């Protein structure tokens, strides 16, 4: 199908905590289109997080395993345009028949239905027809069905029938894996620390992550292997906003929490859970050594504690660095990441 981009496959869709449910539901749907309770399958999440890729991977996988299945991928916007055209040309029947003949329909970005009542009506009928015939419907959207505004209730209620699975921002490890995969696919090799640097600093959106690497390569006239960290930092200045910014306590907190996989809010809370206390103490220790903040400011930042708590935290961390090899490795690791920013 010309509508499906063959580059969007499961194989190059990196799995992480951010997409595990959506990915495995997509895989189940691809193996048994129309034959699971995930109908419709709704994939939702923010811009550049991989909705189109995953939705198309499902379509490509179905075409690969059962080539004669009729799979259509269409953006909601294009569908709306086609509907308006068919009104103008008196070809509504053809339009509806075309979609109702499909085995699988993948509609991208259904939030764009907002306000378009007539198109929603038509899609409502197509949806019902396909669903009743056991055909598979896959939708993507920038919000969960319950948060979609401007859609008719009866259509929304259909959207909630199957499974809604969200895509989150990938964590650091997944971002590194995505970059590596892309690098190998393009036959490029960049030093590990450059990959780490990019993955570290571009942390909100996969499209931008890839964009940063493309820009890095485009600007480089050198052998790719000669792109070192200093060069990468310079080249990506435009991409990475806080390159020359001072290290903030907020950033330290974010880094430490990401490292130990603890929720950021917990560090500032009163909890005495071991791993939280550890994250809090390391954050305080690093704030003391890497920012100009006073003990008082540090204490206040990490949950309204007083300066003696900060002194105690720093002492504890220093003692543990002396006595506990694993702990020392943790702190070194985090410190390395801190210096990359």
Evaluate whether 38 touches 162 at the Cβ level (below 8 Å): yes
Q: Is 50 within any annotated ligand binding site?
A: yes
Evaluate whether 130 touches 96 at the Cβ level (below 8 Å): no
Q: Is 299 within any annotated ligand binding site?
A: no
Name the token pair of 164: 């809604």
User: Which of 40, 48, 59, 162 lies at the binding interface for ligand ADP (CB under 6 A)?
Assistant: 48
Residue 52 near Mg ion by CB under 5 A: yes
Residue 13 near ligand ADP by CB under 6 A: yes
Task: Round to whole Å and give the CA distance between 11 and 113.
Answer: 31
Residue 59 near ligand ADP by CB under 6 A: no
Evaluate whether 236 touches 219 at the Cβ level (below 8 Å): no
Name the token pair of 300: 């206040």
Please, which residue, 18 or 163, has the CB nearer to ligand ADP? Answer: 18
Nearest distance in Å: CB 175, ligand ADP: 9
Phi first, then psi: what are they for 204, rounded to 5°?
Answer: -125, -5
Written as one string, the DSSP assignment of 65-118 is HSTTS-EEEEEHHHHHHHHHHHHHHT-HHHHHHHHHT-SEEEEE-GGGGTT-HH
Nearest distance in Å: CB 3, ligand ADP: 15
> Which listed option, ligand ADP, Mg ion, none, makes contact with residue 207 (CB within 5 to 8 Å by class)?
ligand ADP
Q: Is 316 within any annotated ligand binding site?
A: no
Show the site string, 206-245: x = touches ligand ADP by CB under 6 A, - = not.
xx--x-----------------------------------
Nearest distance in Å: CB 255, ligand ADP: 22
Enclosing H/E stretch for 15:
none
Task: Round to whole Å and give the CA distance between 14 and 329.
Answer: 28
Nearest distance in Å: CB 34, Mg ion: 23
Please, which residue, 51 or 63, has the CB nearer to Mg ion? Answer: 51
Nearest distance in Å: CB 126, ligand ADP: 22
Task: Round to whole Å and give the CA distance between 137 and 40.
Answer: 5
Binding site for Mg ion (CB under 5 A): 51-52
Binding site for ligand ADP (CB under 6 A): 12-14, 19, 45, 47-53, 178, 206-207, 210
């Amino acid at each position: 199908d010309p509508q499906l981009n063959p580059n969007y496959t499961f194989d190059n869709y990196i799995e992480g905590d951010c997409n595990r449910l959506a990915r495995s539901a997509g895989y189940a749907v691809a193996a048994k289109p129309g034959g699971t309770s995930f109908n419709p399958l709704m994939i939702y999440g923010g811009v550049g997080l991989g909705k189109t890729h995953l939705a198309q991977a499902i379509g490509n996988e179905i075409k690969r395993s059962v080539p004669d299945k009729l799979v259509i991928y269409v953006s909601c916007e294009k569908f709306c345009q086609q509907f308006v055209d068919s009104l103008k040309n008196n070809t509504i029947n053809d339009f509806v028949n075309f979609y109702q003949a499909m085995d699988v329909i993948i509609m991208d970005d259904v939030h764009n239905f907002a306000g378009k009542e007539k198109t929603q009506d038509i899609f409502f009928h197509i949806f019902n027809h396909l669903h009743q015939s056991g055909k598979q419907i896959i939708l993507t959207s920038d919000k969960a069905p319950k948060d979609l505004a401007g859609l008719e209730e009866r259509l929304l209620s259909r959207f909630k029938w199957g499974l809604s699975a969200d895509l989150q921002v990938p964590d650091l490890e997944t971002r590194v894996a995505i970059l590596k995969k892309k690098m190998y696919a393009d036959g490029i090799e960049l030093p590990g620390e450059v990959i780490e640097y990019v993955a570290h600093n571009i942390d909100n959106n996969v499209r931008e992550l890839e964009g940063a690497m493309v820009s890095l390569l485009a600007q480089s006239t050198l052998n790719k292997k000669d792109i070192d960290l200093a060069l990468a930092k310079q080249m990506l200045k435009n991409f990475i906003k806080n390159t020359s910014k001072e290290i903030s306590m907020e950033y330290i907190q974010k880094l430490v929490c990401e490292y130990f996989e603890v929720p950021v809010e917990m560090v500032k809370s009163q909890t005495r859970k071991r791993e939280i206390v550890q994250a809090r103490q390391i954050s305080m220790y690093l704030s003391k050594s890497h920012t100009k903040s006073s003990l008082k400011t540090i204490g206040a930042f990490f949950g309204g504690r007083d300066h003696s708590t900060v002194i105690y935290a720093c002492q504890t961390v220093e003692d543990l660095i002396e006595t506990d090899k694993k702990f020392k490795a943790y702190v070194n690791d985090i410190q390395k990441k801190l210096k990359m920013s």
